Structure 1
Amino acid sequence: MASARVTGTTAAPPGTGRATARARDWAEIQERMLVPLYEAVHDRLEVGPATSVLGLGCRSGLALLLAAGRGAQVAGLEPDDALRGLARERRLRVGADRPPEADVARSAYSLVTVFEQPPPGTEPRRTVAGAARLVLPGGHVVLAAWGPRERCESAAVLDVARRMARRSGARDPFELSPPGALEDLLAGTGLRPAGGGRVGCPFAYPDLESALRGLLATGLYDAAAEFSGPALVTKELEEALQPYLRPDGTVRMTNVFRYLIAERPR
């Protein structure tokens, strides 16, 4: 069996240095896997110079950067210090828990995106209700989730996080995947469904080390690492990736993500 020598996230010392290394692993390795999702949403809603975008949980901001490249006015919210710092390095206006100072005069946006699953302890309905309060009449909120488990080869790899977290509060990545799950989050928000779609987002890495670093940077394995220890989680994750390791050393898993567009009536 091939063995990966992980020099990024998993080998970094505890504390700020490790948080920074993991944030960079997300920005440099994992974030680009979701570009097909971002671009599909931007195409569907014709994001351009007339669009004002707020990304909730925008992480290091690639989706916002792509929207800005289309001429949109963009801002974001990201509670993680290291990820927010990387977004700001990209010259994006990103605040911790409220819109950045440059956006104080703007009380709402024409598009609010929630591409990332809320972290454990955060109720998804509250996240959606908050997004609804920040969108203009006639504007849109976009929610995203993993597609059907059976359509995602990464499901077996993500199962490591569930198994090794036991009952410590890890969130099931596929909890919002069943039909109607995203739509149910709109109840009581004043938003109404206005379309959606499915997008192929293959997870492709140049080698096993990059795959480990990228996946661990998602945060989905945090509860497992806390419960079972980082070294054991890394070992189990490496084992789970073996079926997707190709003869040339690359790693590839096909996946489907789904998105829901919700509209705030005028």
Structure 2
Amino acid sequence: MASARTTGTTERPAGARAHDPRPGGQRPARARDWAEIQERMLVPLYEAVHDRLEVGPASSVLGLGCRSGLSLLLAAGRGAQVAGQEPGDELRALARDRRLRVRDGARAAPAATRSAHSLVTVFEQLPGCADPSAVVAEAARQTLPGGHVVLAVWGPPERCESAAVLDVARRMAGRTGARDPFEAGAPGAAESLLAPAGLRPAGSGRVSCPFAYPDLDSAVRGLLSTGLFEAAEEFSGAPLVAKELEEALQPYLRPDGSVRMENVFRYLIAERPR
């Protein structure tokens, strides 16, 4: 496994790019919006996990669903060897632009050829995931005996101001049935995934992760880049979803035009027995 010990950055295209409702041009723009706007909102979560598990030169970290790889960059900055899996072509390309080793998680290699890691993180995949048990099983398979898996979920909806905004995704998905991003964070839900995957609980924590944006347009673009609104856009149309998001964000709009929502995320640490 290659070591990624130097950091890179994505380059912003000339000129600001608003959210693009056209199906043909939507995905690359959304990937950039994730990397440039939304991903940094989870830095307190990444750092809390790295601190808790003392990530450093002795660590081998795999990010499942690592998206554009900021969590891996932070781990590499601590001296860890890092690698990632990401099924999204555009996000994977952005991670590779950051000089990270990231492969297509949709076409996983046979188990016999996988490298095992001391820490496997699942920071972004569980909210809205159709099959969380499969994700956790995959994480466990790639963890060394005695190593750890970390699962991240939203905290209680009553402690997350973004809950009311994310409800736009549910309301506008119609019969397509968008999954509730808070479902994986319900009491006992994440814990129930551990034993079937051969893991045992080894701790947990909560982290404040405010979602803060310089303006309303950035807030809409950042939230749409999470992927949680895809079913709503398919059913109701991207322009209408963007309009509803703007309305839902009004209570969090500040006098200077910025947007801020206080949120709590929870992480669950699991150990693969020796």
CA 1:132 to 1:60, structure 2 compared with 1: closer, same or farther past 3 Å? Answer: same
Deviates more, 1:161-170 or 1:51-60: 161-170
> Aligned partners of 1:51 and 1:136: how far apart in 2?
11
Label 1:100 to 1:220 Cα distance change in 2 as closer, same or farther (>3 A).
closer
Asked whether 1:166 is paired with 2:174, we answer: yes
Q: What is the alpha-carbon distance in structure 1 between the residues aligned to residue 108 and residue 182 of structure 2?
A: 32
Gaps of 5+ in 1: 1-6
Any residues of structure 2 matched to 1:135-174 within 5 Å, and which?
A: 135-174=143-182
Match of 2:20 among 11, 17, 40: 11
> Structure 1, residues 197-243: CA drift from partner, whole Å, max 9, x if none?
00000000000010011001111111000000111101110000000
Q: Whole-Å Cα distance in 2 between the matches of residues 92 and 205 of structure 1?
A: 27
| Corresponding position of 1:197 | 205
State the Cα distance separating 1:138 from its structure 2 match: 0.6
Distance 1:64 1:263, change over 3 A: same
- Name the structure 1 match of 2:10: none
Task: Tell me which amino acid in the other structure corresponds to 1:88.
Answer: R
Aligned residues: 257
Give the Cα separation in 1 of the matches to 2:231 and 2:108. 30
Q: Return the match for 2:50 from 37, 42, 46.
A: 42
Q: Which runs of 5+ in 2 are unaligned?
A: 1-15
Measure how far apart 1:176 and its partner are.
1.3
Whole-angstrom distance in 2 between the partners of 1:86 and 1:12: 21
Q: Equivalent residues in 2 for 1:41-190 (5 A)?
A: 41-97=49-105, 107-118=115-126, 122-190=130-198
Q: Is the 8 A contact 1:9 1:216 kept in 2?
A: no
CA shift for structure 1 position 122: 3.4
The percentage of counterpart residues that share the same residue type is 76
Q: 2:235 aligns with which of 215, 227, 242?
A: 227
The alignment partner of 1:247 has SS state of: coil
Q: CA deviation at 1:88?
A: 0.2
RMSD over aligned Cα atoms:
1.9
Q: 1:126 to 1:133 in 2, by over 3 A?
A: same
Paired amino acid for 1:134: Q
- With 145-154 and 172-181 compared, the bigger mean Cα shift is at 172-181
Q: TM-score, normalised by structure 1?
A: 0.92
How far has the Cα of 1:98 moved from its partner?
7.3
**Closer, same or farther in 2 for the Cα pair 1:156/1:121, shift >3 Å?**
closer
- Secondary structure of the residue that 1:116 maps to in structure 2? coil
- 1:162 is paired with a residue whose SS is helix
